[in-house]
Amino acid sequence: MPDTQPDVYGYITHIKYTAKNGSKSSAVVAVKSLEDVVSTYKDASVRIDEHTLMENEVGEKLDIGQLREGHQIQAWFEGEVQEKAPVLGYAKAVRISP
């Protein structure tokens, strides 16, 4: 997990699975920022796939199928971020809390 401030820190409001074969191997997750929490972006659409490092708050690995609306999420982006509102970026790592 990165040791820097997350690019987005909030809770999941919507999950859209995007794998072509109907599996839950990739998704775009809508994130609404938490008030009074410091992060680079407020609201965001976060792209997650099988290459994204996903862990819970104690460091146990998770997979995309375990994501639920309402979970708290911290995400770190890799590469370009589309700067429209909400921003859209690929997550290299996410930390999930129920």
Question: Which residue has 């690929």 as its token pair?
Answer: 90
Question: How much is the pLDDT for 23?
Answer: 66
Give domain limits for the chain: 8-97
SS3 content of the chain, % helix, strand, coil (to 5): 5, 50, 45
pLDDT at 73 over 90: yes
pLDDT at 8 over 70: yes
Q: Which of the four pLDDT bands, split at 50, 70 and 90, describes residue 85?
A: confident
pLDDT at 1 over 70: yes
**Topology adopted by domain 8-97:** OB fold (Dihydrolipoamide Acetyltransferase, E2P) (2.40.50)
Query: Alpha-carbon distance 64 to 66, whole Å?
Result: 5
- pTM greater than 0.85 (yes/no): yes
Q: Which amino acid is at 28?
A: V
pLDDT, tens digit, for every residue of 32-45?
999 888 889 989 99
Q: Is 57 helix (H, G, I), strand (E, B) or coil?
A: coil
